[in-house]
Amino acid sequence: MDQYDYSDVQRVSVGSGLENELCAIMYTDEYKELISIFVGLLQQNEVSERAFAVTTAVIENAAALYTAWNYRFEIGTALFQDQDRWEKELDWLDEFTLNNPKNYQIWSYRQAVISQQQKPQFVRDLPILDLMIEDDTKNYHVWSYRKWSVQFFKDWSHELDFVNKYIDRDVYNNSAWTHRAFYLQNIDPTEHESIFDAEISYCFEKISMAPQNVSPWNYLRFIYGSFKNNEFDARLVEFASSFIGTVLEVGTDSNSVAPHVRSSFALELLADIYAKRDSNKAKIAYQALADTWDPIRKHYWNLRIKQL
Amino acid sequence: MTIKSTARAAKKISYLRTNVLGRKREPVEREVEVETEEEVMELTTSNTELVTETLVEREKLIDDCLYLYDTAPEKLNHLQKDFHKIFLEYWLNNPLPSGFKSLDASQPWLFYWIGNAFKTLNPNWLNTDQQNRIIDKLWYISPEGGPFSGGKHQLPHLAANYASINSIALCHDINNSIELNKNAIYGWLVSLKTPDGAFLTTRPVGERDVRGVYTALSISSLLGIMDSNLTQNVTNFLISCQSYEGGFGGCPNDEAHGGYTFCAVASLALLNALDKINIEALLSWCSSRQSKEEKGLNGRSNKLVDGCYSFWVGGTAAILEAYGYGVCIDKDALKQYILKCCQTEKSPGLRDKPGTQADFYHTNYVLAGLSICEHSFSAKGSSPLDLIAIPRVEAPEVEAINPIYGITVQDVHNFATRHNESFQLPNLSMKV
């Protein structure tokens, strides 16, 4: 802002003049001055470099001011004849993003900027997305934006390595598992059978490392839902059964030896499978979940038992 | 007890090992002590051998919660209403420090969070003077009476309209003096609609997700202006946001998330379309948000419990309950989390989790969540505007919340009686 002259701008005061104003924010004098210039320019709808510079200062002061993001975008679309300017805008946005990881406006603005570029590049998007996830591995906005970006550029080639990296780092990262499910949508139907087998093996391996982890169990259901129309096979039943000890034999009889359940999610999956085939077994499984293995969800287990 | 404390000690060691040596990046194997029979019956992630960032954080929180459940003083068996009143009343009567400029575009949210929390504690506490001050400030920001902006000289925004309309609904004593610009609000909502059945939060650049859908439908159903221009294709958009886990993401393919799931499910209730989604998976997902040790609700798989999901997920469960799908969460356990982990003796207001400070947002949604715990819900034969809440505990600590709108049942009723013409006609309550 320092390089521009704003002396002629008609300031618009930010004070309400209300008596006993509710939740008045005690703005600093600097902020009041900045906003009064910003509103002054906005009300004149001034499209200029100096107005653009004001939006930078406003956003850096209060990132959630969506009005400033919108004004900035309108100035940019009117003013930027040269593609370099949009490129520079992305540079600024990258820097800003690193300092404001939880902000809502960044991502829709980024989409709007990229849609303005004549030759947007996916590789231009990747480093900032990597950095953001590296720093906050479950950042919802970033994972969501990445899905938009992949679809916008129609480039799926980076995604599998990306999710593998984050599942390797933390097998409990559900955002990464969700992204894996997203990635699989792009698989060519001719490859379905081999991908199905590979994904099942992958899940089995990850579950064996940490059986009480809901993410790969849910993903496993997704795989069977997407590729096998929810027809759960003997391979899955056998695998899940290896985590539930003798619970289906001993049921909830408190006098018998503890059945050594290692994963309530394995028991839940089996219960859901048996619900369609063998309601007695399903009932024992749901009851064991309600009584012992996942009692906080007892209301839900009882709903399932009632439906049998 | 000894077994438990050994297990706790082992957890502490693993926590220290991973944290003192710097931030955990690589998963490490840890030794698990030989399990005794009793321990086997206690199934937690700590029975597994792989320690990652997720587990380290969660085990720390479990320790904090268990400590509070062991040591909380007797008075925290009840909501310290007069104590929390101090927190809210202070901010109704004093200006906010300059750091609140971060909420400069969310000013109506301040009125909604503070005012609604206040009224959830006691419907008579928000006096006429305070109600007048809410309305004066809203009309200072948006002198036309709608559509509403986040602050003076700002563009209208869906989130600001939701918070403004809900705030107006808190002001029942002066309801008759309020004139809303329904035509302008309607025209503006139509302008935000996208062909695929979603809404932009603002124009030209805004987010397009289920938050926008919920806020648009909440506003329009309260005002009685929800017609097919607004609802066309919306159900399809919402269906496309249900994740394979059962909950909903903000956009198609996004991760299932408590906040977005609430927005989607409340919207589907308003569209009378709950039967169009996979309810079984949703019930399972909702109930999975609760964990035995902390007793509270989290917002996503393998994330930490947070008091605000007492409403986002608890409210989702309450809507499902109201429409006859059964109760899927443990309300009594959740109430324990709220009373023992979200309030403290030392500072008023409600918080996210042990180790955090109370704020307006959490105070409101934790109290709304407490109301979910203390009531049963039914929508049998009634419009969402007249959802029925019946106390399920003796002497509830808080008022009955309408889980679709996030304000009290009484405030929804009063607002609709005044501002919704189709609601005013007998036997013609809103049908979609």
- DSSP codes joined into one string, B205-266: S--BSHHHHHHHHHHHHHHT---HHHHTTHHHHHHHTB-TTSSB-SSTTPPP-HHHHHHHHH
Domain ranges of chain A: 156-229, 232-307
Give the percent of chain B with pLDDT over 90: 84
ipTM above 0.85, yes or no: yes
- Please indicate if any CB of chain A lies within 8 Å of the CB of B27: yes
pLDDT at B3 > cutoff 80: no
CB contact under 8 A, A26 and B245: no
Residue B341 contacts residue B296 (beta carbons within 8 Å): yes
Answer whether 0.90 is exceeded by the pTM. yes
How far apart are the C-alpha atoms of A148 and B254, rounded to whole Å? 10
Q: Is B32 on the interface with A (CB under 8 A)?
A: no
Mutate which: A296, A301, A303, A305, vs B, most B CBs within 10 A: A296
Q: List the catalytic residues of B.
A: 257, 300, 303, 306, 308-309, 352, 359, 362
Closest-approach residue (CA) in chain B for A169? B26
Q: What is the pLDDT of residue A185?
A: 87
Interface of B with A in 279-308 (CB under 8 A): 283-284, 286-288, 290-292, 295, 300-303
**Which residues are B149's β-sheet partners?**
B156
Is B40 part of the contact surface with chain A (CB cutoff 8 Å)?
yes
CA B151 to chain A, closest CA, distance in angstroms equals 9
pLDDT at B423: 84
Segment B411-421 shows an average pLDDT of 95
Q: pLDDT at position A96, please?
A: 96
Residues of B in contact with A54 (CB under 8 A): none
Chain A residues in contact with B52 (beta carbon < 8 A): 169-172
Best probe of the B interface among A21, A23, A301, by most B CBs < 10 A, is: A23
* Mean pLDDT of chain B, nearest integer: 90
Yes or no: say if A228 and A200 are a contact pair by the CB < 8 Å rule. Answer: no
Q: What percent of chain B has pLDDT over 70?
A: 87
Q: Who among B101, B203, B286 is closest to A27 (CB)?
A: B101
Q: Which H helix or E strand runs over A88?
A: helix A83-99
For chain B, say whether A85 makes contact (Cβ under 8 Å).
no
Beta strands in A34-141 (DSSP E): none
Residue type, B175: N
Residue B146 Ramachandran class (φ > 0 left, ψ -120 to 50 alpha, else beta): left
Which residue does chain B place closest to A223, by CA atoms? B244
Number of residues that this document lists for chain B? 432
State whether A143 and B245 contact (CB < 8 Å): no
Q: Please count the other Cβ atoms lying within 10 Å of the Cβ belonging to residue A95.
A: 11
Task: Using an 8 Å CB-CB cutoff, list chain B residues near A20.
Answer: 133
Least confident stretch, B49-53, B271-275, B284-288: B49-53
Mean pLDDT of chain A: 94
Tens digits of residue pLDDT in B200-251: 999 999 999 999 999 999 999 999 999 999 999 999 999 999 999 999 999 9
The span from the CA of B105 to the CA of B163, in Å, is: 12
Structure tokens at B343: 């309030």
Do the Cβ atoms of B45 and A175 come within 8 Å?
no
Of B161, B154, B224, nearest in space to B192 by CA: B161
Q: What percent of chain A has pLDDT over 90?
A: 89
Say if residues B51 and B28 touch (Cβ distance below 8 Å): yes
Query: A59 to chain B: nearest residue by CA?
Result: B102
What are the boundaries of each domain within chain B? 2-77, 81-424
- Which of B360, B284, B357 is closest to B326 using CA atoms? B284
Q: pLDDT, tens digit, for every residue of B52-97?
A: 999 999 999 999 999 999 999 999 999 999 999 999 999 999 999 9
Residue A151 predicted with pLDDT over 70: yes
pLDDT at A135 over 80: yes
CB A223 within 8 A of CB A274: no
Q: Is the pLDDT of residue B421 over 80?
A: yes
Asked if A28 has any chain B CB less than 8 Å from its own CB, the reply is yes
Please report the number of interchain residue pairs, chain A to chain B, with beta-carbon separation below 8 angstroms.
233
* Residue A23 pLDDT class (50, 70, 90 cuts): very high
Query: What is the rounded CA–CA span in Å between residue B272 and residue B187?
Result: 23
Residue B364 — φ and ψ, nearest 5°? -65, -50
Domain covering B81-424 in this structure, CATH number: 1.50.10.20
Question: B52, A170: Cβ pair inside 8 Å?
Answer: yes
Please report the pLDDT score of residue A134 as a whole number.
96
Distance CA B348, CA B148 (A): 31
pLDDT-based confidence at residue B281 (cuts at 50, 70, 90): very high
Cβ pair A180, A219 in contact under 8 A: yes
Q: What is the pLDDT of residues A188-238, one digit of tens each?
A: 889 989 999 999 999 999 999 999 999 999 999 999 999 999 999 999 999
Contacts of A221 in chain B (CB under 8 A): 244
Q: Which pLDDT does position A255 carry in this prediction?
A: 58
B96 → closest Cβ in A26, A148, A178? A26
Residues of B with Cβ-Cβ distance to A293 under 8 angstroms: 43
Tens of pLDDT along B391-406? 999 999 999 999 999 9
Q: Do B96 and A24 lie within an 8 Å CB cutoff?
A: yes
pLDDT band at B17 (very low <50, low <70, confident <90, very high): very low
Asked whether the predicted pLDDT for residue A250 surpasses 80, the reply is no
Read off the pLDDT of each residue in A17-27 and give the average, rounded to a whole number: 93
- Mean pLDDT, residues A23-40 taken together: 97
Predicted confidence at residue B27, as pLDDT, reads 59
- B139 touches A at CB < 8 Å: no
Q: Which residues of A touch B110 (CB under 8 A)?
A: 23
Residue type, B176: N
Strand partners, B156: B149
Q: Which residues of A touch B27 (CB under 8 A)?
A: 168-171
- Residue B50 is predicted with a pLDDT of 84
Q: In degrees rounded to 5, what are phi and psi of residue B376?
A: -105, 150
Res B44: pLDDT: 56
**pLDDT(B42) > 80:** no
For residue A252, name the pLDDT band (cuts at 50, 70, 90).
low
Whether A148 and chain B come into contact, CB under 8 Å, resolves to: yes
At residue B48, the pLDDT reads 54
The answer to whether B207 faces chain A, any CB pair under 8 Å, is yes
- What integer pLDDT is reported at residue B18 of this predicted model? 36
Decide if B332 touches A, using CB distance below 8 A. Answer: no
The pLDDT of residue A27 is above 60: yes
| Residue A162 CB-half CA count within 13 A | 25
Q: Is the pLDDT of residue B255 over 60?
A: yes
- pLDDT > 50? residue B113: yes
